[in-house]
Structure 1
């Protein structure tokens, strides 16, 4: 029985020579292939099969077997191959091919031919084998691919981004960061060094009135590296960065890696015991800090167990009002050091970076990135899809968090693009910055979009050059209004610093508010508290398969949490996700923020979304407080927009038509401001500890 044709590969452009495509595009190195079979799963045209005709050896791959579907040159297999076993044929002319491929206004794909029969190529390649109970994942994926497949969404996105690049002869650029025989990653400093050679005079960083080329950044990183050596910095030593956004943050970030140190970005909002805990737990020996944060360090200095030197950033405008203690060094002195690369290097097994989780509900955990698993190559590869070399990529998000550091910083560099940096978020100044820097691309988070939407409308709201905004957890009802008001295209991305490299993206091909659909070569489940799979429409924790522990998350000095995160061969995200009947995923909330009321599970996130619809509410935090009954009582704390007024009774009435009765908060508190993490998330454990205060409204009173 042959594999059925996939319905969306039905248009056969007669100007494409299928034989030329199949044999003239790809080169396969059998010596590098580890038989992981990823390429066969990801190939949307089904043009790669496992050749099992030789029963005495491992299955090989075949691109030219009789009846195999035509290669459509989408690049999926090259991007997916972890061993670099698939490469571009030297005889392949991408400009010529894609000129012909894009002669029509609509991208068409060749028909997927039937697969060889099972007698010639082994029963394990046939649908009957794939439908067996032991291969439930394969069966599930094949079914999805045959019903307007997950990969249809991916290819529509690729059509918009990648194929445009390929049509201009830049096909090989897409594949530049594939691992070629070396499974180890590279450091961010190495990426910078390569770019400083490749495009030395291209502007990399814009900050206020400052501008830095790639060469400038590399020279400054060398100066910092040589300066840190004076204080005992070197391989395996830890350095904290306790700074707000600035070019100096990045200089320290790159410079410390040049001498093999590991970096610990510290949330500049931390104070007291929370600050001393993170510093002590991370075992860092030095800290580079902003002058305005010296007082925060001084209050805990006698509690610090390992730190023996402090370097204060005395360069920023914000540093002028502050005195620098004589017991601390000045960062300005570093810029008088030699710009020669110290060439200390690093041990690939050593830690490169520790990113601490937000700690909104408990102690923060340090997510470890080692030099050999830094994710720089993967991030650089993903950048080829979204970022263009002429982009100006903006971020207001804190560099001490993964979004700004991993996405904006890394991906703009990977594409020879320019990064524009703001010291911190300002709703009133946001679009002014966008216009000042001629921004074409930026990332944001779901909690910021409502704040921007609640700013007074202005005639120049649409006056910007932004082509794409990548959001995380954008409220579905604000998706289209945001696009229309600001004349931008909104996409959705999902991932986490402790997500094991797993993620989902909606590149405009899934419904607004959806995360998109997970690629078919990734196994996942949505499960309840007993690890039972939940049906479509029911929220469950999203978990990813990791049988070989390749995506294992490592928490610093916390093996118990590491084991729990990767329990039984599955990476646990801790996020509640709902899947609809077509396989699209929707974020519901954190499972640690789920509450129990009226015999029902209540998502704090979904209640917050409804409360945010009230015109007087700027921000909200919903959480559980103790109840006299066995379940939770729901409490909401809110801040108001400028000039806003709110009667808690009126808010309750507002919610009665929008929420189930059991989900309406019993307690409502109006506060001036929230304490937040560096990712702008409200630290709810502080509110939970405060509980029901004297100024709290009780709807039952």
Structure 2
């Protein structure tokens, strides 16, 4: 399977260009590699991969690693070998983790000893494990110590990434990214942000996500900039790392910015070399607070993991907006039923959206775009390419100056700490709980960004026993455990005997039934009371997200706007300020 993306530069060429550059280029803890050493390391691993892949096998390598030097080395190796990296998410568990590896047809999986327990007992026939922190691994690489990067095998159309993106079906889809597209994305960000060879990119978001690879590693590679890795994100180590590595650029997703703001403020917080942070879901309130405290501007962007649509921030973008479509582009906000373009948004004096019912629709790219499909998932591809257009599955509205604002997602997904989760998958797991007669899972808004998982359970509930049950489920990912559990005698249903999800979402944690919750940072469930509710409401107000607490919003969810102009009778989401 080849892409039709026609960029002229390959990732392999960018890797090979670093040969002979003896400046320090890759830092992780106490390890430092020069650009030359990273190119040589990628070349050695490329030759090893070529030897290990069975004849006729898809050239795919699964990488189940924290952010260690091995991750970018294997990205470079795959590019040189004309192969693709499937980033394996270590928060996945059991059969679901095995499914990800088998679905992407990875015959080689690179991991480390810390992650070996995740693979114990999994059905992975024909898969060769390479454990990077072992003598056996060093022995495998030794014969290729003199390898030199050769980019001649790679073409712009070669797959280089298989990025998992979750959907409402529960089974993650592997979006294809070619060498041409990844190289073009890196070069575009270099131009947008003026990245140069003296910059250092701090990669603290997990590299199995597209954010860290596409928005952080790729522009560094394209510019010849340095890369500093943090094995796992740490708010307390953020500034010490930035100062230690002289980092000038970083990317973030979701709650990372809030975690940084929650650290104890110090008089010297602004004494750092950073000049820019680029990411999603920080929120206007936290972005402003971050700049005041650390002296660093955060730039919000939007880009679908599949590459079919992107919106770039430009100077003059209003607070809360993502940006404007590129000039001459075909990004539009459409009513998904009539296919008509939605009217521009109207705001009151406080900046609150007045005509969300009409203005909010699905963001659609009606022009040529670099979406390259999903691996072995034609049904999902057809859903994305309806009418010959690229449908993002995300809801937006635009103001009269053409600036776009993100409004949510169209399907029944939850987004927790930047992880897309499927309600049906979590329900199937929670249904195993011995006291459960029926279970419903749905999203409730988070006061900072995205969602939190809430479950309604009909039956008997023991908070300590439920916690033990969760810990014993091999396929319960680390983001899936419910933050809130509502306990009912009988599951509310509609006239057609379907679970009344709109009613459950609308009441959320403000309901007459007992609700148990795990406050942030707590390990045990306790009763949710009036003081807890007041604290949450205050946090929503402080972050300008009080509109998300409206019962109408919670009941219908953002996807209500995809149902047509008569489906929702309400006004307003979040305030917009200029």
Q: TM-score, normalised by structure 1?
A: 0.59
Choose from 34, 37, 57 the match for 1:213.
34
Choose from 190, 195, 204 the match for 2:13.
190
RMSD of the TM alignment (CA)?
3.4
Q: Residue in 2 aligned with 1:587?
A: 406
1:282-326 Cα shifts (integer Å, max 9, x gaps): 1111111111111221220xx22442x2111116xxxxxxxx9xx
How many residue pairs match? The answer is 452
> What does 1:92-131 align with in structure 2 at a 5 Å threshold?
none
Choose from 311, 321, 324 the match for 1:504.
311
- Gaps (5+ residues) in structure 2? 346-355, 415-441, 453-478, 495-499, 510-516, 556-578
Q: Residue in 2 aligned with 1:487?
A: 295
Q: Residue in 2 aligned with 1:515?
A: 322
Choose from 102, 106, 118 the match for 1:284.
106
Q: C-alpha displacement at 1:446, in angstroms? A: 3.1
Choose from 41, 61, 80 the match for 1:258.
80
- Gaps (5+ residues) in structure 1? 1-181, 316-323, 596-601, 613-618, 667-701
Mapped to 2, the partners of 1:506 and 1:459 lie a distance apart of 30
Q: C-alpha displacement at 1:543, in angstroms? A: 1.0
Mapped to 1, the partners of 2:530 and 2:335 lie a distance apart of 35
Mapped to 1, the partners of 2:285 and 2:265 lie a distance apart of 18
Choose from 115, 119, 143 the match for 1:297.
119
Secondary structure, aligned partner of 2:201: strand
Q: C-alpha displacement at 1:363, in angstroms? A: 0.9
Q: C-alpha displacement at 1:663, in angstroms? A: 5.0
Choose from 256, 263, 274 the match for 2:96.
274
Secondary structure, aligned partner of 1:258: helix
Q: C-alpha displacement at 1:281, in angstroms? A: 0.8
1:204–1:413 CA contact under 8 A, matched in 2: no
Q: Which has the larger radius of gyration?
A: 1
Select the structure with the greater relative contact order (CA < 8 A; seq sep ≥ 6): 2
Secondary structure, aligned partner of 1:254: helix
2:10–2:156 CA contact under 8 A, matched in 1: no
Residues 1:384 and 2:191 aligned together: yes
Choose from 649, 652, 666 the match for 2:533.
652
Mapped to 1, the partners of 2:235 and 2:200 lie a distance apart of 20
Q: Residue in 2 aligned with 1:628?
A: 493
Q: Residue in 1 aligned with 2:576?
A: none
Choose from 64, 68, 73 the match for 1:246.
68
> What does 1:433-582 align with in structure 2 at a 5 Å threshold?
433-500=241-308, 502-530=309-337, 531-537=339-345, 538=356, 539-546=360-367, 550-582=369-401
Q: C-alpha displacement at 1:350, in angstroms? A: 4.4
Moved more, 331-340 or 576-585: 331-340
Q: Residue in 2 aligned with 1:662?
A: 551
Q: C-alpha displacement at 1:361, in angstroms? A: 6.4
Choose from 640, 661, 669 the match for 2:520.
640
Mapped to 1, the partners of 2:298 and 2:7 lie a distance apart of 34
Mapped to 2, the partners of 1:551 and 1:594 lie a distance apart of 24
Mapped to 1, the partners of 2:230 and 2:87 lie a distance apart of 17
Secondary structure, aligned partner of 1:640: coil
1:328-373 Cα shifts (integer Å, max 9, x gaps): x5255414523223757246654332111145862100111244x4
Secondary structure, aligned partner of 1:485: helix
Mapped to 2, the partners of 1:296 and 1:611 lie a distance apart of 26
Aligned CA distance change for structure 1 residues 431 and 233 (closer, same or farther; 3 Å): farther
2:177–2:372 CA contact under 8 A, matched in 1: no
Secondary structure, aligned partner of 2:312: strand
Aligned CA distance change for structure 1 residues 553 and 314 (closer, same or farther; 3 Å): same
1:480–1:512 CA contact under 8 A, matched in 2: no
1:40-97 Cα shifts (integer Å, max 9, x gaps): xxxxxxxxxxxxxxxxxxxxxxxxxxxxxxxxxxxxxxxxxxxxxxxxxxxxxxxxxx
Residues 1:224 and 2:45 aligned together: yes
Aligned CA distance change for structure 1 residues 574 and 294 (closer, same or farther; 3 Å): same
Mapped to 2, the partners of 1:628 and 1:190 lie a distance apart of 58
Aligned CA distance change for structure 1 residues 536 and 332 (closer, same or farther; 3 Å): farther
Aligned CA distance change for structure 1 residues 652 and 661 (closer, same or farther; 3 Å): farther
Mapped to 2, the partners of 1:247 and 1:256 lie a distance apart of 14
Aligned CA distance change for structure 1 residues 232 and 552 (closer, same or farther; 3 Å): closer
Aligned CA distance change for structure 1 residues 233 and 376 (closer, same or farther; 3 Å): farther
Q: Residue in 1 aligned with 2:563?
A: none
2:254–2:280 CA contact under 8 A, matched in 1: yes
Aligned CA distance change for structure 1 residues 272 and 641 (closer, same or farther; 3 Å): closer
1:589–1:603 CA contact under 8 A, matched in 2: no
Mapped to 2, the partners of 1:330 and 1:294 lie a distance apart of 14
Q: C-alpha displacement at 1:258, in angstroms? A: 2.1
Secondary structure, aligned partner of 1:276: helix
Aligned CA distance change for structure 1 residues 359 and 246 (closer, same or farther; 3 Å): farther
Mapped to 2, the partners of 1:347 and 1:417 lie a distance apart of 23
Secondary structure, aligned partner of 1:443: strand
2:22–2:34 CA contact under 8 A, matched in 1: yes
1:259–1:342 CA contact under 8 A, matched in 2: no
Q: C-alpha displacement at 1:396, in angstroms? A: 0.6
1:589–1:604 CA contact under 8 A, matched in 2: no
Aligned CA distance change for structure 1 residues 520 and 342 (closer, same or farther; 3 Å): closer
Choose from 174, 177, 188 the match for 1:369.
177
